[in-house]
Amino acid sequence: MQMKNKIVAAAVVVVAVFLIGFVPQFLKVNRLEDELRQSLQEKSGSQLRELISMAYFQAIQKNFGLAAETSSQFFGRAREMTNQAQDATNRKALEGLLASRDKVTAALAKGDAAALDDLQDLFVKTRQATGNPSHP
């Protein structure tokens, strides 16, 4: 019976030592994963802002064909971010960006100068949706 108690005590000590080493590492990994996820989200937001800025700039220069290509990249990237969004509020904000896709695409395809207003509005909404609410 004493031998059995010693084995149980040794097993408890081994489990305790394992947990003492495991728990801090587990917490550290979770924290680092959260930081990585946040950094990737910030990077994606930055890319989205860059794309809409470029499309707006190209449209200002009356290069509507290039602006249409860039806006297509913007909307594709916005769709990817929407599908990956884990936060419902963030997802809804990104979906709001996608709502103007057809209007912007049609205006750019026609070479319509009214596309500038749509792109400017989209630019501001993008900055707000991606956590950078500063105005142009």
Half-sphere exposure of residue 25: CA atoms within 13 angstroms, side-chain side: 5
Query: Over 80: is that where the pLDDT of 134 sits?
Result: no
pLDDT of residue 23: 86
Provide mean pLDDT across the span 15-21.
89
Instruction: Give the confidence band of 132 by pLDDT, cuts at 50, 70, 90.
Output: low
Provide mean pLDDT across the span 87-95.
90
Query: Over 60: is that where the pLDDT of 136 sits?
Result: no
pLDDT of residue 71: 96
Provide mean pLDDT across the span 85-95.
89
Contact 58, 91 (CB under 8 A): no
